[in-house]
Structure 1
Amino acid sequence: MTTATPFATGTNSTGANALPTPPTGWPIGSYGTYEEAQRAVDHLADNDFPVADVTIVGVDPMIVERVTGRLTWGRVLGGGAASGAWFGLFVGLLLGLFSTGGALAPIITGLVVGTVFGLASAATRYAATRGRRDFASVTQLVAGRYDVLSHPRSAERGKEMLALLALRA
């Protein structure tokens, strides 16, 4: 027996080797944000609508890069040291678990070596940009709008339910 996952695609979204297919169904609502589309589907679910017939489709995809701050050598080296220290601590703990001697020496060695490698790695990457990217950012894939589609057998009922939801808001 196969089960549906949020990552499966295809006609029934259950096959391990299902091919990506365009969404099907009739539009029953269109929303400016994913949160609004999610709220609409939740409303349908709360009112015994067959939500297995529903698909949320992001239309007009965009890649949005939100700048989170300025990068300086201090921030870059601090982040590299912290990242390297965590990785070194992890490796040191693993080595300490399997060593026949004391566990403290591998942990400290891993911490120090990880910190040094993290610093060197971060400094090399930042220096390679030569000041062309002195900012940190987070990238998201978002849509211009979100359409809610339904299987034709229940689309009219879904459209009516979402129209009533819009009137109440």
Structure 2
Amino acid sequence: GGSRVRRAGDTGGGRQSQLKTRLERAQRQLKKVIRRLPAGYKINIVAYSSRTKLWRAGEGDEPPQLHALTKANRDAACAFVDGFRADGVTATDAALRRAFSVDGARCFYLLSDGFATADGKTKIPTEDILAVIDEYGKDRRVTIHTLGFRGADVEMMKAVAEHTGGEYSDID
């Protein structure tokens, strides 16, 4: 088996006038990452704005799984990313809870261009995000690498990476 990787892509958008441009930037970057991952890597993707949406949900009562990056899966993952829609909310806490539901995921890449909010206005404190990680990650060690676009909550993104042994990177 290959490495186990999970990706969470923020489809929140912040200010309405910038939604499309910021979303397109996030889509381009995430598709670039998907295309560059070696064959054999296993991924799933959580899109998030006001709600979360998995690229591949579990069947029946089964938890969501990771999927090997075959050519067909790589193309399907990129098509899923093309379908992201922004609504100005960045529900990072909900995205992380959903990411932890993916069976076997040991590494997350959290992409964001905004501040974690549940309503598009009220910032979710960094401590609350870290508490979600501690609660949902208590039974397995997960490394979370964070990638922040211009406008991201850099303090929170760096704290999440440091808390989990990951790295923070700025993205253009």
TM range (shorter): under 0.3
Structure with the higher strand share, 1 or 2:
1
Which structure has more RCO (C-alpha within 8 Å, separation ≥ 6)?
A: 1
Q: TM-score, normalised by structure 1?
A: 0.24
Q: TM-score, normalised by structure 2?
A: 0.24
Structure with the higher helix share, 1 or 2:
1
